[in-house]
Amino acid sequence: MDLALTPEQRAFREEVRAFLAASLSPKLRRGAALTSGVFAEPDIAREWQAILEAKGWLVYHWPDHAGGPGWTPVQRWIFEKECAEAGAPILPGMGLKLVGPVLYTYGTQAQKDHYLPRLRTAEHVWAQGFSEPGSGSDLASLRTRAVRDGDHYVVSGHKIWTTQAHHANRLFALVRTDPHVKPQQGISFLLIDMALPGVTVKPILSASGDHELNEVFLDEVRVPVSDRVGEEGQGWSIAKFLLENERGGSSFAPAILADLARLRTSMGPLTGELADRAVRLQLEAEALEMTELRTLIEIEHGAAPDPRSLTTKLLASEIRQGVEALAVDAFGLAGLQLPVERPFYGDAMPTPIGSPEAQVAAARYLNARAWSIFGGTSEIQLTLIAKAALGL
Amino acid sequence: MNLALSDEQAMVRDMVRRFLADRYDATTMAKGPMSPDDWRALGELGLFALLTPEQAGGLGGGAAEVMIVSEEMGRALAITPLAEAILLCGRAIAGSAAAEEWGDRLMQGDALLAFAPGGALVDGRLRGSAAIVRDGMDAAAFVVETEAGALMLVDGQDSGVRRTPVRLVDGSMAAHVRFDAVQAQPLTVPAGMWAEAQALAGLSIVAELVGAMASLLDLTVDYVRQRHQFGKPIASFQVVQHRCARMYTWLEQSRSLLLKAALAEEEARVRAVTAARAYIGDAALKLAEEAVQLHGGMGVTDELAIGRGLRRVLLLSRLHGGGIAARAALAA
Ligand SMILES: Cc1cc2nc3c(=O)[nH]c(=O)nc-3n(C[C@H](O)[C@H](O)[C@H](O)COP(=O)(O)OP(=O)(O)OC[C@H]3O[C@@H](n4cnc5c(N)ncnc54)[C@H](O)[C@@H]3O)c2cc1C
């Protein structure tokens, strides 16, 4: 057993480091550091996506047959770790991490040829239309109907919590194509052009004041049957595949550790309880990093994912929430500012009291509460873990 | 020993509760600071006079009244300057000429005083700044605690007072205030009054937190009863029940420490308020976070009192160093 990187892996790490040092402008770093939501703001994300695509590293986690660079799990991890330490923007995952893998796994050749290149150039920006007002944890109860009419489905329904739908022009959605079978069996997976008549997006403001979330209303939207991924009724299996990527597709710990280190610089020396909390969070994040590494090293050596991989999103949520709460406390009264202007790095921002990191702390704390809700709540995760890891 | 409210106290509680119930429900709670008109209306009802010492022309209500009124404010998630304007600044001016100029207007809700720690006297003039002064944009005058610890009154109209707005997490407006050779009137605070003012302001904040906890728990219990997933109310899942039950234990423990602080003899009050602050702030934040979690996506929006309540609780629980400072004081 050993944890050391091979000489090739070390050389690879140097290559990544050099690329990041050369490509991450101060603007990109600042934009990333002062992002209050989960994903980088569109201006920052677009710029960074174009740089990564030009280098050939945008879809670093895709297999080579799908256009990825053919990296091993450990190489991907090295890349993620270096990006986190360099403070690179977090790109929205709905296209790259969620629908991309669905398309290269389940899509027809025509779908791959049409959608994958456009995803990479950001000509298509994707949103995820799974949840509905009545169907959150119980996703299989979803009611959006898709009725076949010749070469089209006529889709009507109401999606909610659709992250960044207001920036997107494509929606991937779960719809009910057969109301007469078991709920899971009647679901299909559709790609919906948001410019089609009948698609309406309505904003939902978060408690932080950020606009990340939306409702999407679908009113007799005519979607070509050729934009269904997989077979009719296969939507639930595809969704399960996608959710596994959403919860465990990449490592969480590197970003948490890097953010904690950056915060510790801006917070200054901590004493007493705050110092104690910082140490605990650091330890939890280090343990999580090792847990994530164990799983991906096993996968690299050909083993099937261990159920322990189910724990990472849950743990990452808790640690992330702890880190953002620590920041609020460490910045004192200055950590309780919450301007309404967005984004936090723009010229429109009022002068911060303390530091820009203090100014963004409360918004980040509030938005981090969502970590234990999106992509499956922590309660649902614990139930899955009890079943899969312990057989309960 | 007796924990029942007197008839007068029950009247005060009912009056405040009715007043707030006419104005706040789950859709309006914590949406923004209380309007100046509503604040004035509370002043006209005599509420602020009740909480003001007799030296300052008030009715001299004590800690129990502060608790009763503040808890109702918290229950409605009303965003008001009660703790600092009335309890802290109201007492700071009690023994000075300033009481004549500002006391009545403060008690009637016509003028706000804000507490501004910062600045120093140089050649008889106040210079420097106070980083974040709550309600500092609306304040007609400031009670300044200088870096040397002296209490002074500064008229907000003074041309050397410069304010920049700072929006706080609960949606209230604070100010960054600069004092540029400002005239400052020394305040003579009767012995013990300042310590009492600070204790009562602290008590008011924890009482508001307890009121907010009660509301957030009520709203959550209602929600989990009514929200269905997997074909049944989420309240039927044992995990959900246990978490609500745990929230209830935090509320009751908090209420106990609050009562202990409000009913403490005067010499024990400072420690009892510190103890209440040491526990209640963190309990309230945990409870508010659980309320958000049990609401799922609805919890993180600005649409429900839950998400906005979390913001208000975050602010109140972190004021004056929050639980961390209070625990450090107890340990010292
Ligand atoms: C910031 C954010 C971004 C999101 N982005 C997207 C997106 O882009 N696309 C999309 O489709 N969805 C998105 N979601 C939706 C997310 O997937 C749902 O919020 C989540 O699945 C929970 O559903 P719900 O909100 O309806 O909560 P509910 O399912 O109503 O849950 C409420 C509470 O009950 C608990 N609960 C429910 N069932 C059980 C049970 N069986 N046992 C124990 N406890 C239970 C939950 O854990 C939770 O605490 C997003 C959500 C958030 C907050």
A140-158 per-position pLDDT tens digit: 999 999 999 999 999 999 9
Give the closest-approach CA distance of A345 to chain B in angstroms.
17
Q: Does the pLDDT at position A47 exceed 80?
A: yes
**Average pLDDT in the B47-59 region?**
90
**Average pLDDT in the A238-246 region?**
88
Minimum CA–CA partner of A272 in chain B? B328
Q: How confident is the model at residue B135 (pLDDT cuts 50, 70, 90)?
A: very high
- Average confidence score pLDDT of chain A: 96
Neighbouring C-beta atoms of residue A82, cutoff 10 Å:
22
**Token pair of B155, please?**
């008229």
CATH number at residue B178: 2.40.110.10
Say whether residue A389 is in contact with chain B using an 8 A CB cutoff: no
Q: How far is the CA of A48 from the centre of ligand 1 (A)?
A: 30
Do B20 and B144 share a domain, yes or no?
Answer: no
| Residue bearing the bigger pLDDT, B26 or B67 | B67
Question: B182-199: per-residue pLDDT in tens?
Answer: 999 999 998 888 999 999
CA distances for A76 relative to A7, A79, A259, B268, angstroms: 16, 5, 19, 60
CA distances for A57 relative to A25, B40, B283, angstroms: 17, 62, 46
| DSSP 8-class letter at B320 | G
Say whether residue B167 is in contact with chain A using an 8 A CB cutoff: yes
* CB < 8 Å to A354, chain B: 131
The beta-carbon neighbor of A333 closest among B131, B167, B301 is B131
Of B26, B17, B14, B6, the C-alpha closest to B73 is B17
Instruction: Please name the residue whose Cα sits nearest to atom 32 of ligand 1.
Output: B296
How many residues are given for chain A?
Answer: 392
Give the closest-approach CA distance of B55 to chain A in angstroms.
32
pLDDT of residue A311: 94
Q: How confident is the model at residue B54 (pLDDT cuts 50, 70, 90)?
A: confident
HEC assignment per residue over chain A: CCCCCCHHHHHHHHHHHHHHHHHCCHHHHHHHHCCCCCCCCHHHHHHHHHHHHHHCCCCCCCCHHHCCCCCCHHHHHHHHHHHHHHCCCCCCHHHHHHHHHHHHHHCCHHHHHHHHHHHHHCCCCEEEECCECCECCCHHHCCCEEEEECCEEEEEEEEECCCCHHHCCEEEEEEECCCCCCHHHHEEEEEEECCCCCEEEEEEEECCCCEEEEEEEEEEEEEEHHHEECCCCCHHHHHHHHHHHHHHCCCCHHHHHHHHHHHHHHHCCCCHHHHHHHHHHHHHHHHHHHHHHHHHHHHHCCCCCCHHHHHHHHHHHHHHHHHHHHHHHHCHHHHHECCCCCCCCCCCCCCCCCCHHHHHHHHHHHHHHHHHCCCCCHHHHHHHHHHHHHCC
pLDDT of residue B194: 92
* Class of A124-237 in CATH: mainly beta
Residue A220 near residue A353, CB atoms below 8 Å: no
Do B304 and B218 share a domain, yes or no?
Answer: yes
B315 contacts A329? CB cut-off 8 A: no
Residue B120's SS3 state is strand
Residue A91 near residue A48, CB atoms below 8 Å: yes
Q: Return all residues near B145 (Cβ < 8 A) that are at least 6 apart.
A: B115, B116, B117, B118, B151
> What's the complex ipTM?
0.97
**Average pLDDT in the B316-324 region?**
95
CATH number at residue B40: 1.10.540.10
- Burial track A121-160 (b if 16+ CB lie within 10 A, e otherwise): ebebbbbbbbbbeebbbbbbbbebbbeeeeebbbbbbbbb
Tokens 């909480």 sit at which residue? B51
Compute the Cα dihedral for B181, B185, B190, B195 and give only its sign. negative
Q: How far is CA A293 from the centre of its chain?
A: 19
Domain count, chain B: 3
Residue B50 near residue B107, CB atoms below 8 Å: no
Do B9 and B133 share a domain, yes or no?
Answer: no
Residue A274 near residue A330, CB atoms below 8 Å: yes
Question: A157-174: per-residue pLDDT in tens?
Answer: 999 999 999 999 999 999
Q: How far is the CA of B44 from the centre of ligand 1 (A)?
A: 46
Q: How far is the CA of B233 from the centre of ligand 1 (A)?
A: 14
Which of the residues A38, A138, A210, A338 would you substitute to probe the B interface, choosing the one with the greatest number of B C-beta atoms within 10 Å? A338
Residue A221 near residue A197, CB atoms below 8 Å: yes
The CA distance from B227 to B229, in Å, is 7
Residue B194 domain boundaries = 190-329
Q: How far is the CA of A132 from the centre of ligand 1 (A)?
A: 10
Is residue A246 part of the annotated active site? The answer reads yes
Q: How confident is the model at residue A262 (pLDDT cuts 50, 70, 90)?
A: very high
CATH number at residue B302: 1.20.140.10
Do B85 and B134 share a domain, yes or no?
Answer: no
Hey, which of A35, A98, A131 would you mutate to test ligand 1's pocket, going by the most ligand atoms within 8 Å of its Cβ?
A131
pTM here is: 0.97
Do B224 and B310 share a domain, yes or no?
Answer: yes
**Average pLDDT in the B101-129 region?**
96
Question: A319-335: per-residue pLDDT in tens?
Answer: 999 999 999 999 999 99
Helix (H) or strand (E) holding B318: helix B305-318
Of the listed ranges A188-192, A303-307, B161-165, the least confidently predicted one is A303-307
Question: B60-86: per-residue pLDDT in tens?
Answer: 889 999 999 999 999 999 999 999 999
% of chain A residues with pLDDT over 70: 99
Say whether residue A332 is in contact with chain B using an 8 A CB cutoff: yes
Say whether residue B239 is in contact with chain A using an 8 A CB cutoff: yes
% of chain A residues with pLDDT over 90: 93
Q: How far is CA B321 from the centre of its chain?
A: 14
Say whether residue B129 is in contact with chain A using an 8 A CB cutoff: no
pLDDT of residue A253: 97
The CA distance from A26 to A174, in Å, is 40
Picking from B105, B123, B145, the residue at the C-terminal end of a domain is B105
Do B293 and B199 share a domain, yes or no?
Answer: yes
What is the CATH superfamily name and number for domain A250-388? Butyryl-CoA Dehydrogenase, subunit A, domain 3 (1.20.140.10)
**Token pair of B175, please?**
């100010």
Residue B178's region, left for phi above 0, alpha for psi from -120 to 50, else beta, is beta
Say whether residue A160 is in contact with chain B using an 8 A CB cutoff: yes
Do B199 and B321 share a domain, yes or no?
Answer: yes
Q: How confident is the model at residue A248 (pLDDT cuts 50, 70, 90)?
A: low
What is the C-alpha R_g of chain A? 21
The CA distance from B83 to A30, in Å, is 38
Q: How far is the CA of B291 from the centre of ligand 1 (A)?
A: 14
Compute the Cα dihedral for B4, B6, B12, B15 and give only its sign. positive
Kindly give the number of the ligand 1 atom that is closest to the alpha carbon of B294: 49
The CA distance from A171 to A190, in Å, is 8
Say whether residue A317 is in contact with chain B using an 8 A CB cutoff: no
Options A246, A284, A289, A292, the catalytic residue: A246
pLDDT of residue A346: 87
Half-sphere exposure of A240 (CA within 13 A, CB side): 8
Backbone angles phi, psi at B173, to 5 degrees: -105, 120
Of B203, B201, B209, B160, the C-alpha closest to B314 is B209
* CB < 8 Å to B176, chain A: 353
Which residues belong to CATH 2.40.110.10 in chain A?
Answer: 124-237
**Average pLDDT in the B158-180 region?**
98
Picking from B45, B72, B105, the residue at the C-terminal end of a domain is B105
Pocket residues: Cβ below 6 A from ligand 1: A 128-131, 136-137, 161-163, 213, 370, 373-377, 379-380; B 227, 229-230, 234, 237, 239-240, 293-294, 296-297, 300
Q: Does the pLDDT at position A96 exceed 90?
A: yes
Do B90 and B101 share a domain, yes or no?
Answer: yes
The CA distance from B209 to B276, in Å, is 11
Hey, which of A137, A379, A392 would you mutate to test ligand 1's pocket, going by the most ligand atoms within 8 Å of its Cβ?
A137
Helix (H) or strand (E) holding B164: strand B161-167
Do B305 and B206 share a domain, yes or no?
Answer: yes
